[in-house]
Chains A and B, each alone.
Chain A
């Protein structure tokens, strides 16, 4: 249905509210973002759907996105009119069957119940919505509320305002939660310059890596001469372990579209592209459906909301090169050229895509825009720190108990992030370091874990904000091997255009490999630092320019580990194969022969049929034996 003006938008909102909160029907919502699907959400969804059909159930089964609790997937929400929202975790088919049974019997299912929420937060337009009326029910005393969940307690969802709470394919749902009203406000009540002024005053900085003030970028693009102007969205999220953009694309695509529409109006653009990596099939499909729905509703195309503003956009698919997340390579790729960066001595704002004025922002930056327009710059810049306003999304992964997508106000410390939000390192481990900003970010050690998470502090510590990757590491990680691993990744992903990156990373990789094999010298360490500076200084693009970060930060904070490899020929984390030896403690060995059964090289021999021994010359240090030994007799030295 076409939406021509505010009235149409309000009608869509009414429709959406009835769909989001059907007055008489219960609703089952299954989290169907990639994190849910990977854990079996599809089967659970199909199960509920088929049950509902077979029994002519008076309820609805719908899908939703990811609320961030990826470690609890598959998540299922039950929304019953007048009752709190109920969230069930790790719902497999067995649990789903029980939930269905209890529901069918007219009970409030308590199998796999994780938490309840009596108030849905609607950030835009309307404020909180009370779900629960009447007295406190008994399950509410026995199970925690959302507000009591440690994982959510410290978070503030702005970019993620709708994630996991609506069906990403349903435009009315989005409008019901205040969506597209910011666009309507910008188009009818604000001049383009006022929009830009608001974004500048909000202090919003680019969430893709550099942290450049978004409004200032917009202003340069508005002032630049030339037409058409392009508005671009960087959704080529390639950092291993980072999936903040994917979360938004799959869970709330319209928030990105709306942000881009507002940006286009402010800049004076009529065309846009979203550059999404093809490795995100669900994100691409969801985005495609969102674009079609917006176009059908007249929110993309000619004369949007009857204001005379025209804008349309399409998706451009990335072909799998990491470097295409770099702005100039991204634009080359959209133009159909090989994804190679070009020297950037003229700003993208003046000469970007097809040499026309262009404005590129990342997914999360765009998703923040409608909120700033709706609630105002003053509201926004109260959140976070003075120089890094607002919130930031992180994908918290690695050796941490609660893995997931989090959005916290800027300025909370790494310690709070790991311990309070993430629930600490799994038992048996101890926090060693955190890697932020993707492969070309840096590792920050425990000594610095009171560091606040904001742009300046992270850069000062030798890492960077990047697009919000956050990998927690414990004692089992060797920092030398880790640096080698990241350089290996970057060497593989370097486009090869400029010499410092193409050959510099190769040289660095060779040097690091020598360290892990105990063949390096202390002089090599200084050589490597000097080479790192040369690569930072001379590389053509940001990939090369930031590539030495993992090496420099690990040398800076973990020099003792490098020295152990070089001087003592020892790997303290017992990871580097050339520097470790496997042996069997004959006192502990029970002679069960499990180890010799699995050893792929026949390196384990039985001595007098009682205990076993490892023939070191045959051992390839794969560690399979240690994995099967129940007596814990296999030692690594």
Chain B
């Protein structure tokens, strides 16, 4: 067992566990979007960020990935954590105003839509890649993947058409934190219809 401090209280956890796992089992809440207990964490949404002092320095880490170490001090509500969490939620709620789930978490932390709110209510995907990981690691298929990078990054299928490899297992729908898969599939079907319509 490894002993550590979270917000001043002593907690214990098994070696190899993440801060997030230990915190949650000790009743300390840390918000997450892209965390699914069933899949390898990717640390994409950064909502679970916490501050850690390892005796040498303070650093901000993704608690879903950071393995617990003996004697570390973890802070889940420090000024830096709150600032980072506020901005992550602020940007998510402004960029993806169509997502019920994001508005719910943002609301719980007192974050409202700002003047920078996007008009696009259709795009609710936060590009966390859980669906891509699930399709690869759970279904073993890889029918969906990422395309492009940065602000243009998106989850899609090959040629943006319905994937012939997809077996319809639905694991991606199940793991998606913002219920965005339906829209992706609708988009590919729509494109397929357009492409077919054009064929002679």
Chain A positions near chain B (C-beta within 8 angstroms) = 321, 323, 338, 342-343, 345, 491-500, 502-507, 510, 530-531, 533-535, 537-540
Contacts and interface: CB of A to CB of B under 8 A. Distances in A.
A430 B79 CA distance: 42
**SS class, residues of chain B in contact with chain A:** mixed
A540 B62 contact: yes
Contact of B46 (A492, A533, A538): A538
Nearest to A510: B116
B95 interface: yes
Contacts, number: 100
A323 B149 CA distance: 11
Contact of B84 (A321, A345, A497, A500): A500
B62 to A, nearest CB: 6
A499 B88 contact: yes
Most buried by A among B86, B91, B92: B91
Interface in B47-90: 47, 49, 60-62, 65-67, 80, 83-84, 86-88
B83 A540 contact: no
A498 B84 contact: no
Contacts of B153: 495-497, 502
B151 A498 contact: no
B87 A500 contact: yes
Interface residues of B, number: 34
Given A345-B66, A506-B151, A533-B83, A500 B88 contact: yes
B31 to A, nearest CB: 12
A43 B123 CA distance: 55
Given A534-B87, A538-B84, A496 B46 contact: no
Contact of B150 (A343, A345, A496, A535): A496
B162 interface: no
A552 to B, nearest CB: 14
B49 A537 contact: yes
Contacts of B67: 345
A499 B127 CA distance: 8
A303 B80 CA distance: 54
A274 B116 CA distance: 43
Interface of B: 42-47, 49, 60-62, 65-67, 80, 83-84, 86-88, 91-92, 94-95, 116, 126-127, 129, 146, 148-153
B87 A502 contact: no
Contacts of A493: 149-150
A530 B87 contact: yes
B127 A502 contact: yes
Contacts of A492: 150
* 10 interchain residue pairs of minimum CB distance: A496-B153, A534-B87, A503-B91, A538-B84, A494-B150, A537-B60, A534-B84, A343-B43, A496-B150, A538-B46
Nearest to A534: B87
B21 to A, nearest CB: 14
A251 to B, nearest CB: 32
Nearest to B95: A503
8 contacts: A495-B150, A495-B153, A503-B95, A506-B151, A507-B91, A538-B46, A538-B84, A540-B44
B91 A498 contact: no
B126 A499 contact: yes
Nearest to B49: A538
Most buried by B among A345, A499, A500, A504: A499
Most buried by A among B46, B62, B67, B92: B46
Contacts of A498: 43-46
A125 B95 CA distance: 62
A503 B42 CA distance: 17
Nearest to A530: B83
A379 B129 CA distance: 51
A491 B95 CA distance: 15
Contacts of A323: 149
Contact of A496 (B84, B86, B127): B127
B80 A533 contact: yes
A124 B146 CA distance: 50
A494 B44 CA distance: 13
B65 A537 contact: no
Given A497-B129, A502-B151, 6 more contacts: A323-B149, A499-B92, A503-B92, A503-B95, A538-B46, A540-B43
Contacts of B83: 530, 533-534, 537
A134 to B, nearest CB: 63
A565 B102 CA distance: 35
Nearest to B59: A537
A493 B149 CA distance: 8
Given A343-B65, A496-B149, A504 B116 contact: no
Nearest to A501: B150
B106 to A, nearest CB: 13
Contacts of A321: 149
A495 B148 CA distance: 8
A506 B94 CA distance: 12
B142 to A, nearest CB: 12
A506 B67 CA distance: 31
B126 A345 contact: no
A456 to B, nearest CB: 16
Contacts of A491: 150-151
Contacts of B44: 497-499, 540
A531 B88 CA distance: 9
Contacts of A510: 116
A507 B95 CA distance: 10
Nearest to B82: A534
Most buried by A among B83, B91, B126, B150: B150
Contacts of A535: 87
Given A343-B43, A496-B152, A537 B80 contact: yes
Contacts of A504: 87, 91
Nearest to B69: A345
A540 B128 CA distance: 13
Contacts of B127: 496-497, 502
A85 B127 CA distance: 60
A535 B60 CA distance: 11
Contacts of B129: 497
Contacts of A539: 46
A531 B62 contact: no
B70 to A, nearest CB: 15
Nearest to A497: B44
A112 B63 CA distance: 64
B46 A500 contact: yes
Contact of A538 (B60, B94, B116, B151): B60
B150 A502 contact: yes
